[in-house]
Amino acid sequence: MENFETSAIRTQTERTQFDEHSTPLYLTSSFIFQDAEDMRASFAEEKPKNLYSRFSNPNVSEFTEKIAKMEGAEAGYAFATGMAAIYSTFAALLSAGDHIVSCQSVFGSTHTLFTKYFPKWNIETTYFKAEDAENVEQYIKPNTKILYLKPLPILRLKFLILSFWADSQET
């Protein structure tokens, strides 16, 4: 297995016909299609192809492949902001009627999602205090889908939650 540094350097997109040493920057917003059928199949996700840089881009693909490889993950996603990552994760995992258990100390915009936007979609959030982490189990309901923790400098909280979560997954 390659070491971390080698993996970080060597993972890259295929070279173009110009045999460049490093990946060129793709400063385009859109990509071309060979014909209408190529476009239809691409948008229907029947074939892998870059469509529009807000959806996919060779540079972003290379970045996520490198990070995933270095982390030992199958795949990954990259976002322009932390809130984009947080919202996209919630949107992918939650449905109407679901429940979130969250520590109280979250970023202000995350709190706004929990209190202003998610209730519109019938998604409820219950907060717990860091000093009450040992009792977090009492807040979990049958429809709880996410236990959300903002990284805190309180290592005790982190270990209590992870320990609880690991124990609850065994039953």
- Is the pLDDT at 2 greater than 70? The verdict is no
pLDDT in tens, 95-105: 999 999 998 88
Distances (CA, A) of 145 to 6, 28, 32, 97, 166: 38, 38, 40, 10, 15
User: Which tens digits make up the pLDDT trace of 4-18?
Assistant: 777 777 777 777 777
> For 122-166, how does the pLDDT look when each residue is reduced to its tens digit (9 = 90+)?
999 999 987 777 788 899 999 999 999 876 554 445 555 555 555
How far, in Å, CA of 26 to CA of 63, rounded?
A: 13
- The model carries a pTM of 0.67
